[in-house]
Amino acid sequence: MTLQPGLMLACMLGIGFLAQWLAWRVKLPAILFLLLAGIVLGPATGVFRPDAMLGDLLFPLVSLAVALILFEGSMTLRFHELPGIGRAVRGLVSYGAIAALLLLALSARLIAGLGWDVALLFGALTCVTGPTVIAPMLRTLRPNARIANTLRWEGIVIDPLGALFAVLIYEAIVSHKEGHTVGVFLGTIGCGAIIGALAAWALAWLLRRQLIPEYLQNFGVLATVLLAFSLSNTFAHESGLLAVTIMGIALGNIRNVHIDDILDFKENLTTLLVSSLFILLAARLKWPLPDGMLWAGIAVFLVAQFLVRPLTVVFASVGSSLSWRERALIAWVAPRGIVAASVSALFALRLQELGVAGADAMVPLVFILIIGTVVLQSATARPLARWLGVAEPEPRGVLIYGSDEVARAVGKALADAGFRVVLADDSWDGIRHARMEGLATFFGNPASPHAERNLDLTGLGRLLAMSTHRERNSLACVHYRREFGREKVYRLRNLAPHEATDRAAIAGNLLAPPLFGEDMTHARFGELLATGWRIKSTRLTPAFGWSDFTERNGAQSVLLFGVDEKGNLRVASAKRLLEPKAGWLAIALTPPAEPAS
């Protein structure tokens, strides 16, 4: 049974969304569910046949989608961050990556029988990890900060570099197959590099002078990327992917160009493209696979997992400060992702048209490697980290934005209850007092680029925005929604509800749930502390419940937090009233004791 093209495309988008949502729920890379969905729709059932449905449009659509994916990934590479990412990461993304490329190419050559040209291309595509598969795995794995930073930086830096390796090898294969000389190959590389650099410079010039209004910037960047890709291919055949990769790297490193909104738009667009593209590409897989390719793919996966990655990590981390336990976990974790799946399918289409031997086997090998690494590592990395003793505990800690007496009092109460607490603020006076009280601190705005590079969020899972700056509180809440989740971000009101008129109110999509009840504000909390109110923590029992607590400490007591029997922190807010139970630790703001008569 086949569906109409319009209905099939709509279903593909819906299935892509469900796969992304399921990946978010179970904290696994979305690529796994997207590929499985494509395999079910394509070779398993025959419902979706991309070649028959799209015809001659298949190659151009895949090419444009891959161009946008490579551009978005390339924009994340920052040259100024490379010297500070550590010896191990520098090794992994330089000579380590080259070693992995060669070893993977050798395994594909010896095991799958690929020609050296296709084998080298396979090695270039599969030597990369990428942030889209590393980030969700780290959320589940939760290793210590040194491992997490090493794996995260490796994925971010090697993603565009791996794409660049693959594009260069692909250009060499195409030039050789079409009888081009070395001069033509170099001309192709030069054309792509020049057009990409010029497009980035022109776009930066327009953005820096604000000649493109903000509401048209994303549209303009999208049009420029596709135009640069198409023009480069017109002037020099197959140079477009190199052009957009160079364009992304250049635009991401030009100073005084605000690209945060562009990155957000491209990230959202890439999510849509990746979701659709992976389903489409997986649906094109032929079943049964070419003779012997299934077992060859499994063998290549085993060699990559148990031989290539460990050797690469050992080679790249010589002289680093990583312990052998940390190196062991890093050697185990290397899932493959977007670049490998999308670019391999695009190159395979083109190489098959050129009659390159083994091109049809490259995609099954890549997909088997992707599925194998994601499934195996997702299932075993967390137990391995615990066994090695390099896993962090559950992210139960609290990041507090603010360092005045209110923030310090709340932070001290949570720290005394056994939670990791970090106070972040750009007020040195408050930070100094917090340090004197024994609290962990970060001097700076927690929503700043400096914080992204230097604020250690290991073990932290909530944000309490409690500064005296209302707008900065809202900004911090929006910033940390992605990191912690919308339900783990709270703010302490700076204005009472009746004071927040339409003229003074902040848009609802920028607000987080208010802390500690409808009428609690930062100013009122501070006034209560100044008049003798104190934060008390009491373990409730069947014989001494919350009603007994309020009877002893005053009916005006304000419940702030509850810690249940499993050690989970419950936050009292205007949107969520807590009902403390026996066995809970109740943390409340209590009035001063009345003098004895």
pLDDT of residue 97: 85
Closest to 404 measured CA to CA, from 379, 372, 427: 427
> What is the secondary structure of 497-510 as a DSSP string?
TTT--TTTPPPGGG
pTM for this entry? 0.65
Domains and CATH numbers, the chain: 5-388 (1.20.1530.20), 397-590 (3.40.50.720)
Banded pLDDT at 66 (limits 50, 70, 90): confident
Average pLDDT, the chain: 79
β-partners of residue 422 are: 399, 440
Question: Which phi-psi region, left, alpha or beta, contains residue 342 (left: φ > 0; alpha: ψ -120 to 50)?
Answer: alpha
Answer yes or no: is pLDDT of 117 > 70. yes
Among 82-86, 94-98, 323-327, 551-555, the minimum mean pLDDT is found in 82-86
Query: SS3 for 579?
Result: coil
Please, which residues have CB within 8 angstroms of residue 304's CB and are 6 or more apart in sequence?
104, 107, 126, 334, 369, 373
Min mean pLDDT across 102-106, 158-162, 515-519 is at 158-162
pLDDT in tens, 152-173: 778 766 766 676 777 778 777 7
Q: Buried b / exposed e across 20-44, counting CB within 10 Å, b at 16+? A: beebeeeebbbbbbbbbbbbbbbbe
Contact assessment for residue 63 and residue 240, using Cβ atoms and an 8 Å cutoff: yes
User: Within 13 Å and on the Cβ side, how many CA atoms surround 388?
Assistant: 24
In our burial notation (b when 16+ CB lie closer than 10 A, e otherwise), range 425-438 reads bbbeebbebbeeee
Residue holding tokens 């046949």?
A: 49
Of the candidates 458, 164, 150, 159, the one whose C-alpha atom is nearest the C-alpha of residue 333 is 150
Rg of the chain (C-alpha set):
27
3-state per-residue secondary structure call for 18-62 = HHHHHHHHHCCCHHHHHHHHHHHHHHHCCCCCHHHHHHHHHHHHH
CA distances to 250, 414, 519 from 525, in Å: 49, 16, 10
Q: Is the N-terminal amide bond of 591 cis, ω within 30° of 0?
A: no
Taking the C-alpha atoms of residue 2 and residue 45, their distance in angstroms, rounded to an integer, is 10
Number of H helices, E strands in the chain: 25, 9
pLDDT tens per residue, range 176-223? 766 656 666 677 778 888 988 898 898 888 888 888 887 888 888 888
Question: Residue 467: is its pLDDT beyond 80?
Answer: yes
Does pLDDT of 260 surpass 80? Answer: no
Pick the closest to residue 15 from 263, 267, 283 (CA basis). 283
Residue 157 is inside which H or E element, if any? helix 145-177
Q: Which range among 31-40, 55-64, 73-82, 143-152 shows the weakest confidence by mean pLDDT? A: 73-82
Residue 504 pLDDT greater than 50, yes or no: no
Model pLDDT for residues 290-311, shown as the tens digit of each residue: 677 888 889 999 999 999 999 9
